[in-house]
Structure 1
């Protein structure tokens, strides 16, 4: 098998490139193939951390003892295709923004043969498509996808530098005391969940969220939240600790068998002049 490196893979590590192109092969197995000279770049042995250059030629020599399966697209039925078309909110040559429905998983694994990532790869016929951010299975709303590696790197850097704005609509049990408020705390992952701490300790990360009331009901409130940081379960934990658990959040609230009312409704990527904003979803009502 031979690959000629194009510009979008420039500066990618050799082992990561092979892992992206093939499934069922661990990084340890790839390392062995490179060490044994079964994978060569420009007819020469290279280390696994070799940074690929535009125009490099990779040759993979396999035998009966080394079975490598090239990644293939999953099959989509008409229902899948219809769902994907209806939930693509924004698309250009580099970026795709998708409205994920509650209950859908982002990636294969944990008992799921495929997730939205694999479905979009197949729909676009593009193995390089990647969701740059992710949300929980029970969370819904906007997620950002990139169609090529250079855009993946760029969007990832913007997220890391907090240059992408993300807003959520949230239905909570209870009514906050203030119309607008901010929460700054430290969150730490445990084996089973994320816990909130008043002060820093090893493994904890500073987490900042900004909230304002959109609408109040008898015993519930719709909030809009803006993320200052993007920690795992950040909004869910902080609101629960305030006594404002999210409706439908069985992990940090109460299990009432309803859809979790946490919806990523707005994404602003100023560098790309993108501002996508959705209304409060029907299931909130």
Structure 2
């Protein structure tokens, strides 16, 4: 177990203990802190408290983080759509609704489970839970991902992400009619203080984020756009499009309640290009829009 000790200062005085701790440690979500409090892992001045305890200046707070549950990641046979594969890298088209890697409470049916059945040689840099995973896309986002089959390839691909040299283009359907054909959103993204499981445009504890977009087609109340990532922050396209007033259709976290009934954001990672870490040749792949995305576009066309 790991212990963290905090002395409450005036800035956190009168705040709920769960909110204060989630603010003091940006790596902790408020939900996770609440769970630790309920399990008795948070002591204030040596006494266990409830989640609604109001902090007082000078309080000594000790958080004892229990050992993480060891998950047994099992290989599962899946009908993966492999776009490219050699001894170093693999490019896979992830279907909508599939989680990329296992996590507590969700250790099966993920892309990693399927990759482990498909091939045994995956890089170990990200540990046993994320073998081969270089970058991620959200559960309800479909599209292309590059996977590293050894540590040399992993390091090379990650460096390209750091250097912003990977080509990543997405197609999305957003609320509203965007009047201009092209645009660039340059706005830093960080964790939302009011909702630790969401991201937002903020100057506090944020990282620079840049998204370029172009309009593909306009409809009566929606716009079909292509977004190209310059950086790769969590939920970047979803957050940026909401920030400029055109949230993604179907997005349960960042979009309006009244939206298209499509069970998740209309977002597809359709184009992926990078320099092969061994051959040094640029390779590029394009995945067609999934059937459900095409059906939404057909519906919007007929509704015009």
The answer to whether TM tops 0.5 is: yes
Alignment of 1:41-120 (within 5 A): 74-77=74-77, 80=78, 83-84=79-80, 87-114=81-108, 115-120=110-115
Match of 1:121 in 2: 116
TM-score (norm 2): 0.64
Match of 1:266 in 2: 271
Q: How many residues align?
A: 207
TM-score (norm 1): 0.68
* 8 A contact 2:75–2:115 mirrored in 1: no
* 8 A contact 2:97–2:141 mirrored in 1: yes
Q: Of the candidates 134, 137, 143, which is equivalent to residue 135 of structure 1?
A: 137
Say which is worse superposed, 110-119 or 88-97, in terms of deviation: 110-119
* 8 A contact 2:132–2:148 mirrored in 1: yes
Match of 2:201 in 1: 196
Distance in 2 between the 1:272 and 1:121 partners? 27
Structure 1's unaligned 5+ residue stretches are 1-68
Q: CA deviation at 1:214?
A: 0.8
User: What's the secondary structure of 1:212's corresponding residue?
Assistant: strand
Match of 1:150 in 2: 152
Q: Of the candidates 198, 223, 246, which is equivalent to residue 244 of structure 1?
A: 246
* 8 A contact 2:187–2:209 mirrored in 1: yes
Alignment of 1:1-20 (within 5 A): none
* 8 A contact 1:173–1:244 mirrored in 2: yes
Q: CA deviation at 1:207?
A: 0.9
* 8 A contact 1:102–1:260 mirrored in 2: no
Measured against aligned partners, the alpha-carbon deviations of 1:9-39 in whole angstroms (never above 9, x if no partner) come to xxxxxxxxxxxxxxxxxxxxxxxxxxxxxxx
